[in-house]
Amino acid sequence: MDHAVQQAAPARTPNPLPRPPEELARMEAAWRMPRGIALITEYNNNLIGPLFVGTALLFFLLAGILALIMRAQLAFPGMQLVDPATYNQIFTTHGTVMMFLFAVPAVEAVAITLMPAMLGTRELPFPRLGAYAWMIYTIGGLFFYGSIFFGAAPDGGWFMYPPLTSKAYSPGINTDMYLLGIGFIEISAIAGAIELIVGILRCRAPGMTLGRMPLYAWGMLVFGAMVIFAFPAIIIASTLLELERAFGWPFFLPERGGDPLLWQHLFWFFGHPEVYVIFLPAAAMMSMIVPAMAGTRLVAHGLVVMALVGTGFLSFGLWVHHMYATGIPPLSLSFFAAAGFAVSIPSGIQVFAWIATFGAGRVRWEVPTLFSLGFLFIFVLGGLTGVMVSVTPFDWQAHDTYFIVAHLHYVLIGGMVFPLLAALYYWAPAVGSALSDRLGRWAFWLLFAGTNLTFFPMHISGFMGMPRRIYTYPSGLGLELWNLLSSIGAAVFAAGAAVLLLDIVLHFRPGNRPGQKRNYWGAGTAEWLNNYNYGPRSIPRIEDRYPLWRDPDLARQVDEGGHYLPMAATGRREALVTSPAEAKPQYVAVLPYPGWGNVVAAIGTCGFFFALTGTLLIEAALCFLLGLGGFIWWLWTGSDHGPLEPRTVDIGDGIRVPTHATGAVTHSWWAMVTTMLVSGTAFACLLGSWLFLWLVNGDAMWPPPGQGIPAGGFGLLALGLYAAGGLLGWTAARLLGRWPAWTVRVALLLAAALLAVGAASDGWALWSAGIRPEEHAYGAASFAIFAWQATHVAISLLMLGYTIARSLAGKLDGERRVTMDNTQLFVLYTAGQGCVGLALLHGFPRLLA
Amino acid sequence: MIRALLPALMLPAVMLLGACSGVQTPLDPHGGQAARIAGLSWLLFIGGTVIFGVVMALLAWALFAPARLRAAMRSRGFVVGGGIVFPVVTLAALLAHSLGVSRALVTPREDRPLRIEVIGRQYWWEVRYPDFGEHAVTANEIRLPVGREVELLLSSGDVIHSLWIPNLHGKMDMIPGRVNRQRFTADRTGVLRGQCTEFCGLQHSLMAFWTVVQEPAEFDAWLARQQAPVPPPADARAAHGMRVFGEAGCGACHAVRGTEWRGRLGPDLSRVGSRLSLAAGALENHRGTLAGWIAGAQDIKPGNSMPAYGRALDGDDLLALATWLESLR
């Protein structure tokens, strides 16, 4: 193996060995999991991660069962196994669960499980947020899936095009189940993404520069960024459609100035990146597994990193691929066709890098290798049909037929399921016990054969004229054979899934086993270091992309505590925060203890959305208060603990870092800025919707007769109040620690008052001009922007009130000020967002006039 | 008697009798547009197969070739060549070619094509020939002359549908609030099948139609007959059926040319007897299926807008009504 030659001479470890005996006991005590019922408050990624992965696999099985019912119905023409209404719910739920409750959560779950170990850190920076995300996903997902047993599951297809999903054509609860039931689970995806982004950028082991960062971390970083910019679009789309259904705001109804295509643009602006959101993490897993199985470094590492980042960018230029048949002019379509071709290049780079790596090393025929090769076979085929459907005229024929069903299953099963299963077999020994080689081979061959037998014939049935989403088809069109083959294939796939399940149930047990061979495959990356409740015994000094290959002694040194921070310096759970590019140690972040706040918040959140789905408004209000109480309790007890003793700690190598930090260096600041990016993207979607509807309606109907341009006087007033409110929030943060506490409180209170009055003036400017949301899309779009702003003002008020309360409780001062810093950021954001909204609503129509 | 027959009729309800292979596929083009797309498709299928084969061969090489022979793969150049240079060159050529095809497909040939307005409705197709006045109307069937350029004006009366006649052209969506246009020319006669391809609700699966490409003279004759008032009932049985039509209130939703019945909620029935199918391709069309459909529309195609008259009409009335409708050719 080539890494042997690069081996460095044994270096002095950062901390002297052996370690004092009491050190380990103190750390174990800090990380001891709560017992009994309180175990559900534990957030440790070693516990939540496997649970998260297990939940995702459960949804894979549940959605797979629905697929089997569909294949049974379509095995022969004219079958009547399920009635049309049920069939429509089944295919909608299958697609929705696979996309929202399996694929995205699964890749996030694997990351939450593995990422800390891979980065050499003890824990991700917001572990309670991770636990909260898992809880709302599990509870919400099971509730959503359960709806199919009551005929209440959505039935409009997973992309839910209005006006079919508008109140007039879908009066039932089914559509709300999708909009509210799935909509809030996106919160989970976004929460996970924020946690991963900040974790990857700020919690890497010292020395793990961006250049040495494992590809999986690169993949998840791009994943996180894509979630941040793509998911707000679906949240906005769902919100607008729900507003239309509940209150008659006509965003998508053409008779009142709306446009059904607005939904399609918003949905696919999310929906196409979504495909890469699922694929990139899986590709990044491949870039970890292939080198390990070939026993050599990944060829063209830098190009693969560029490919991941490039895919992330390009994927946002592809959404119109799903709209080739909507009548968009061919010139515009050619731009998107070119973008579609371009995105295949990064995938090509990665495929050739994996092939080159296999060629450079010597392959070991283990189960992860089989799944990796299966992935290459299926994914390359699916990628090629992907290029085909980018070709506009070809897509006019292939669109919405079984050819597309074939294509999307090839890329999703090939591009995500096979890598995930490779990862399962590959990393199982890193988080628990290894799976069976024998059952793994059976599972692989059954799944591989099943996938191809199910989906390859669908290319043909599509071109024999079979549209997707039909519950039956006539005999005589030449569809019989291909459908029968697909159905047989589905049965084979199911057999493979059963073997897989059996293997997991029989052989997988989480946690370290005494005497277990740690680096099971002889891999080179840090997740194969010994890992405990508290992560690695000490935080490794990383000097290579494949540190375990570079220094075979590293595992022993780390495990004996010879590397950084081998202790619980403050006696509490800690993580080491490092700089984003060079991974230089900056401070020791003290993590919260487990607590009930996030559990209560998760229950409240779920209850709130369930109650809204059933329009139980009182119950919804109660759950809202419960959830809000949970959040506040969580924050109050779990964050901004202030400085702890010792103020600084020597983590090793003579590096002394503080145990407390404030301002822009903190992980909490980074998370707040990321959250603002999410909010800003959502807001941009609303502004874009407003402008899109203006283009559709034309100047003459914008505003429509009877509605005016918002009242300029109140608009100016609102602008001034927002600006002043933001400024006061900023000032309060400057005063803190310099001026008496009461002045800070007064400034905060004033800021709250200014923002509140500003929002009232903002809304009155619309109302007094005769603008009404339910009459025309103009009013609906304008009030949607205002409602978004008003929500932010309300959150700002809560945060300002919370900050004042912290001050009154003596939990806020010049040093203990993370709360203030976050509040200040959010207030500034809210003020800025308000000004931008006013500029559009007031300035743009005047500019036109 | 009809009611006794119903169960037997319902079972094969979804079976489109008389469908034959090749009538709903892009690979058997009946016109220049479909032929161009089919040519492009074959190019993609063959090119894709070759590329797939080469990539898999390289993978096999990487796995099985002797170490000495596969050493060349470990270079960055291999990745750059296979992952960047090759796709850039191939895709640039493909892009240029496909843009040419796109351009040819949307370039109009005639100044005054035959315009056909198709309105998608849950779950049937209203078809109008606006160049020939408001009486040139049919449903669930598009007739057109061979050799003449046709422009479809596509819109929707409710939700989004998509019209697809694969042997003639690709799909075009029918979106509420918009009119989409699609042009094509059929270059040989034939009977082709089309189907809704945008999921439009409960009975999306049973929303098909026939396209009949005819000789121009035949087409003109057909069009003239569509516009003409229906002849008076030929015999007492048919007259009885026509009376039932009025008494049962069918005219509230259906139009019959030359009578007082002008409803537009359901298909125009002026020449329903001459159509190739009933209920948007769900049933073949003869007296038995007509009676069965009227009696059991909600069993055959649950959720469609046609009420079931199985209880409202007795067997004799039902059969007479079917007799009259069948005579409207």
Q: A391, A411, A693, A695: which to substitute to probe chain B, counting the most B Cβ within 10 Å? A: A391
Q: Which residues of B133-156 are buried (b: 16+ CB within 10 A; e: fewer)?
A: eebbbbbbbbbbbbeebbbbbbbb
Contacts of B229 (CB under 8 A, 6+ apart): B257, B258, B259
Question: Residues of chain A whose pLDDT is less than 50?
Answer: 1-9
Amino acid letter for position A694: W
B251 lies within 8 A of chain A by CB:
no
Strands B283-284 and B277-278: antiparallel
Contact list, A157 vs chain B (CB under 8 Å): 199
Candidate from A157, A325, A393 with C-beta closest to B98: A393
Q: Would you call B15 and A78 a contact, using CB atoms and an 8 Å cutoff?
A: yes
Chain A nearest C-alpha distance from B323 (Å): 27
Angle at A269 between CA A263 and CA A270, to 5 degrees: 95
Candidate from B17, B65, B91 with C-beta closest to A341: B91
SS3 of B97-137: HHHHHHHHHHCCCCCCCEEEEEEEECCEEEEECHHHCCCCE
SS3 of chain B: CHHHHHHHHHHHHHCCCCCCCCCCCCCCCCEHHHHHHHHHHHHHHHHHHHHHHHHHHHHHHHHHCCHHHHHHHHCHHHHHHHHHHHHHHHHHHHHHHHHHHHHHHHCCCCCCCEEEEEEEECCEEEEECHHHCCCCEEECEEEEECCCEEEEEEEECCCCEEEECCCCCCCEEECCCCCEEEEEEECCCEEEEEEECCCCCCCHHHCEEEEEEECHHHHHHHHHHHHCCCCCCCCHHHHHHHHHHHHCCHHHCCECCCCCCECCCCCCCCCHHHCCEECCCCEECCHHHHHHHHHHHHHHCCCCCCCCCCCCCCHHHHHHHHHHHHHCC
Residue A13 phi/psi, 5-degree rounding, is -75, 155
Tokens of B41: 């498709």
Chain A nearest C-alpha distance from B227 (Å): 31
Q: What is the pLDDT of residue B11?
A: 40
Candidate from A338, A355, A387 with C-beta closest to B59: A355
Neighbours of A47 (CB within 10 A): 19
Q: Which residues pair with residue B172 across a beta bridge?
A: B163
Candidate from A164, A296, A473 with C-beta closest to B160: A164
Please give the helix or strand (H or E) that residue A460 lies within, else none: helix A437-463
Residue A577 phi/psi, 5-degree rounding, is -100, 130
Q: Which residues pair with residue B214 across a beta bridge?
A: B145
Q: Would you call A261 and B159 a contact, using CB atoms and an 8 Å cutoff?
A: no
* A481 vs A76: CA distance, rounded Å: 9
HSE (side-chain half, CA atoms, 13 Å) at B35: 8
Angle at A653 between CA A647 and CA A654, to 5 degrees: 45
Q: Which residues pair with residue B195 across a beta bridge?
A: B164, B208
A760 three-class SS = helix
* A477 vs A252: CA distance, rounded Å: 36
Sheet containing strand B141-145, strands side by side: B141-145, B208-214, B190-196, B161-164, B172-174
Chain B nearest C-alpha distance from A299 (Å): 6
Chain A nearest C-alpha distance from B219 (Å): 26
Chain centroid to CA A725: how far? 33
Angle at A596 between CA A593 and CA A597, to 5 degrees: 95
Q: Would you call B197 and A401 a contact, using CB atoms and an 8 Å cutoff?
A: yes
A652 DSSP assignment: E
A327 three-class SS = coil
Check: CB of residue A467 under 8 Å from CB of residue B197: yes
* A593 vs A599: CA distance, rounded Å: 13
Q: What is the pLDDT of residue B16?
A: 44
Average confidence (pLDDT) over B282-300: 95
Neighbours of A441 (CB within 10 A): 15
Q: Would you call B37 and A475 a contact, using CB atoms and an 8 Å cutoff?
A: no
Through-space distance between the first and last CA atoms of chain A, rounded to whole angstroms: 72
Candidate from A351, A391, A469 with C-beta closest to B94: A391
Q: Would you call B20 and A476 a contact, using CB atoms and an 8 Å cutoff?
A: yes
Tokens of A773: 């949301």
* A639 vs A668: CA distance, rounded Å: 10
Average confidence (pLDDT) over B289-300: 95
Contact list, A357 vs chain B (CB under 8 Å): 74
Q: Would you call A392 and B98 a contact, using CB atoms and an 8 Å cutoff?
A: yes
Interface A–B counts its CB contacts (< 8 A) at 265
Place of tokens 């409705």: B121
Which ipTM score applies to this complex? 0.94
Contact list, B162 vs chain A (CB under 8 Å): 325, 400
* A724 vs A731: CA distance, rounded Å: 10
Chain A nearest C-alpha distance from B193 (Å): 9
B159 lies within 8 A of chain A by CB:
yes
Q: Which residue of A has its CA nearest to B42?
A: A394
Strands B208-214 and B141-145: parallel
Contact list, B58 vs chain A (CB under 8 Å): 352, 355
Contact list, B15 vs chain A (CB under 8 Å): 77-78, 474-475
Q: Would you call B91 and A387 a contact, using CB atoms and an 8 Å cutoff?
A: yes
Task: Name the CA radius of gyration of chain B, rounded.
Answer: 26
HSE (side-chain half, CA atoms, 13 Å) at A420: 26
Q: Would you call B25 and A464 a contact, using CB atoms and an 8 Å cutoff?
A: yes
Angle at A78 between CA A73 and CA A79, to 5 degrees: 35
Q: What is the pLDDT of residue B17?
A: 40
Mean pLDDT (chain B, rounded) = 92
Check: CB of residue A334 under 8 Å from CB of residue B101: no
Contact list, A464 vs chain B (CB under 8 Å): 21, 24-25
Q: What is the pLDDT of residue A836?
A: 98
Q: What is the pLDDT of residue B2?
A: 44
Contact list, B64 vs chain A (CB under 8 Å): none
Strands B208-214 and B114-121: unpaired
* A38 vs A632: CA distance, rounded Å: 19
Tokens of A765: 């400017």
How would you class A150 by CB atoms within 10 Å of its CB: exposed for 0-12, middle for 13-18, buried for 19 or more? exposed
Q: Which residue of A has its CA nearest to B83?
A: A349
SS3 of A541-608: CCCCCCHHHHCCCHHHHHHCCCCECCCCCCCCCEEEEECCCCCCEEEEEECCCCCCHHHHHHHHHHHH
Tokens of A83: 């009635």
Contact list, A77 vs chain B (CB under 8 Å): 14-15
Tens digit of pLDDT for each residue in A154-170? 999 999 999 999 999 99
Contact list, A385 vs chain B (CB under 8 Å): 48
Candidate from B79, B88, B204 with C-beta closest to A300: B79
Q: What is the pLDDT of residue A183?
A: 80
Candidate from B22, B55, B176 with C-beta closest to A351: B55
Contact list, B65 vs chain A (CB under 8 Å): 359
Q: Would you call A478 and B25 a contact, using CB atoms and an 8 Å cutoff?
A: yes
* B69 vs A687: CA distance, rounded Å: 58
In A661-756, DSSP assigns E strands to none
HSE (side-chain half, CA atoms, 13 Å) at A773: 18
A528 DSSP assignment: G
- Nearest Cα neighbor of B300 from B14, B88, B21, B2 is B14
Chain B nearest C-alpha distance from A427 (Å): 23
How would you class B66 by CB atoms within 10 Å of its CB: exposed for 0-12, middle for 13-18, buried for 19 or more? exposed
Chain B residues 15-44 with a CB less than 8 Å from chain A = 15-27, 36-37, 40-41, 44
Chain A nearest C-alpha distance from B317 (Å): 30
Contact list, B55 vs chain A (CB under 8 Å): 351, 355, 380
Chain B residues 41-80 with a CB less than 8 Å from chain A = 41, 44-45, 48, 51-52, 55-56, 58-59, 61-63, 65, 67, 70-71, 73-76, 78-80
Q: What is the pLDDT of residue B20?
A: 56
How would you class A629 by CB atoms within 10 Å of its CB: exposed for 0-12, middle for 13-18, buried for 19 or more? middle
Check: CB of residue B125 under 8 Å from CB of residue B308: no
Check: CB of residue A765 under 8 Å from CB of residue A711: yes
Average confidence (pLDDT) over B97-119: 93
Contacts of B327 (CB under 8 A, 6+ apart): B233, B234, B238, B273
Q: Would you call A161 and B160 a contact, using CB atoms and an 8 Å cutoff?
A: yes
A510 three-class SS = strand
pTM: 0.95
Candidate from A299, A468, A474 with C-beta closest to B74: A299
Q: Would you call B204 and A260 a contact, using CB atoms and an 8 Å cutoff?
A: no
Q: What is the pLDDT of residue B62?
A: 95
Candidate from A355, A358, A394 with C-beta closest to B40: A394
Q: What is the pLDDT of residue A814?
A: 92
Q: Would you call B170 and A469 a contact, using CB atoms and an 8 Å cutoff?
A: no
Q: Would you call A85 and B178 a contact, using CB atoms and an 8 Å cutoff?
A: no
B102 lies within 8 A of chain A by CB:
yes
* A127 vs A606: CA distance, rounded Å: 19
Residue B8 has pLDDT above 90, yes or no: no
